[in-house]
Amino acid sequence: MCGIAGIFHYETVKPVDPKRVERMTDALAHRGPDGSGVWTAPGVGLGHRRLSIIDLDGSPQPMRSADGRAVIAFNGEIYNYRELRRELERGGAHFRTDGDTETILAAWQKWGVDCLSRLDGMFAFALYDIDRRQLFLARDRFGVKPLYLAQLEGGALAFASEMKGLLANPLMRRVIDPLAIEDYMTWGYVPDHRAILKGVEKLPAGHFLLLDHGRAPGPPQQWWDMDFTRRETGRTEDLSAQLLHLMREGVTSRMVSDVPLGAFLSGGVDSSSVVALMSESSAAPVTSCSIGFDVESVDETAYARQVAKLFATDHHERIVSSDQFGDIDRIAAIFDEPFADASALPTLRVCELAREHVTVALSGDGADEAFAGYRRQAFHAREEQVRSVLPSGLREPVFGTLGRLWPKADWAPRPLRAKTTLLSLGGSGEAGYARALAILSPEQRELLYDAAFLRERGDYRAEQPLEKLMRDAPARSGLDRAQYVDLKFWLPGDILTKTDRTSMSVGLEAREPLLDHRLIEFGARLPHRERLRGTSGKWLMKRTMERYLPDDILYRQKQGFVTPLAEWFRGPLASEARAIASSELLTGNGLFARKALSRLADEHISGRSDHGRVLWQLLMLERSLRHLKPSA
């Protein structure tokens, strides 16, 4: 696992200053504390920071191919590199190292861009072909590994694993993109189709970019996508056997490592399944790491201990206090862009614990998206059934009107909190799912924005890209479309960003075995009843894991990391809530209305409303802007 950075002059071939590339890669030193390197040629420079995982001494980067005609800076792991290597050797390729990096070089020289479909792994890389004078940038299927891009003055493209690598380049402009603020205030993160700074982009998951000297960059090209249009047939028992085989393959392929390896263990279905399958194929006890909380109602360590005891793991746990807000500034620096998923704090803690014992940790990320494990997916499937029997001309006048009139009652029992459901039923399925995912509705955002910001934002709404993605999805049903959007939008923007940044901030490599692309493709083909029964998601996965895990692990209510935001902003962070309203970064530059933010803080602190999550969003945005130091 590593960090990469570089510069490519596409307009005019100019020398690249190695010191400039070195500064960019040094900003990523946390991603690769074990080594660094820079390579330059006319018009191009590649930089690399290395965290040694495989072939510890033999694969320094940037790496040249055996024939010297191509150079690569690579971040990630290719799990099938040994099989690819044998195939390439049969075709005449020669190798000088024992790692996966050189395999990518040889694969490119044999298959060109088609090499991507042969790579099983997580990756972002920059490969320069000296003969073709062409730069090849690529990102893995799901976006496990990040890659930021920025256009620089003078016809150059800079790229880096994190935005801080770009910011180390003195030519970078730091101007906030107002549309990214709209995106962030809707989702709590800046999705992959945008970045917080103007002129910065993210190479989308499953895409590549080819760059030539003398030609302006074209749009990224998609090389992989999910397909929900086909269905598996067969008995449940047969489908379960296929699923178990694919899960085993995903886990065992990701256990290849020349350094200590372990797993995150929360005691939930996904991480417990990974630990079970790791234990099955490991001769030594698996190292498992869990964190708990000093508040019993949100502490899951008893379940984690139960699984650890069941599989005799080498278990480590740490209890942390619920007042973790002392790391707010550190989180802002880790993520660069504003990131309001409060579970980033406990995720950072479990990564710190794991790094004390291992260098690689397997996680359970991806199963909820792949096998319909989120309640919102089940609710959406039900709402789509209602929409299918009521004409749209009737839905909006009835449900839309009721939704607008229904009071917003965060304090009420769930059955009485019907406003979002009614508004959702009044519109299209895509609009309804976007509303279910959003932290703030369009109406709520309008109340917070300054008039100047509303003029600059114009007609754009953050829901529009998600709704289009959902409409155009290769899918057959509402459940398919919801899962497709979660895999393409939510997963790379929130879940994988959180895991990548927190793990790499402490020099830990996190691997996601349940995101093996063959497993995800199989999940997309499963009949509905094998994914979702009633409101119970991941049905076939849970049924399959019954041979390994007890029912109180498989069928208890989903919990996840919980952070007491409401209590924080009525207690130790009350002063921060009030300070938000007077922040020049938020209200002094035409982003937010000062009176609206002041009212938000007062209502929350007094207990009249629960605005904890929104206050956390605003606080993390303010801290991120402090970190970025944007220009006017």
The residues annotated with a catalytic role in the active site are 2
| CA distances in angstroms from 281 to 241, 253, 311, 344, 353, listed in the order given | 17, 11, 12, 31, 24
Point out which residues pair with 318 in neighbouring strands.
291
Q: Which of 370, 348, 375 is nearest to 491 (CA)?
A: 370
Q: Which of 318, 293, 290, 295 is nearest to 305 (CA)?
A: 290
- Element at 595 (helix H, strand E): helix 594-606
Distance CA 70, CA 62 (A): 10
Alpha helices, DSSP H, located in 516-611 = 517-525, 528-531, 539-544, 551-554, 565-570, 574-581, 584-587, 594-606
Q: Which of 11, 3, 91 is nearest to 43 (CA)?
A: 11
Contact 94, 68 (CB under 8 A): no
Which tokens go with 530? 């094998």
By the 10 Å C-beta count (0-12 exposed, 13-18 middle, 19+ buried), 608 is classed as exposed
Contact 206, 155 (CB under 8 A): no
Tokens 């030539």 correspond to what residue? Answer: 212
Q: Which of 243, 266, 246 is nearest to 254 (CA)?
A: 246
Cα Rg of the chain, angstroms: 24
Pairing of strands 200-202, 156-160: unpaired
Sign of CA dihedral 24, 26, 31, 34: positive
Distance CA 610, CA 411 (A): 8
Distance CA 210, CA 221 (A): 9
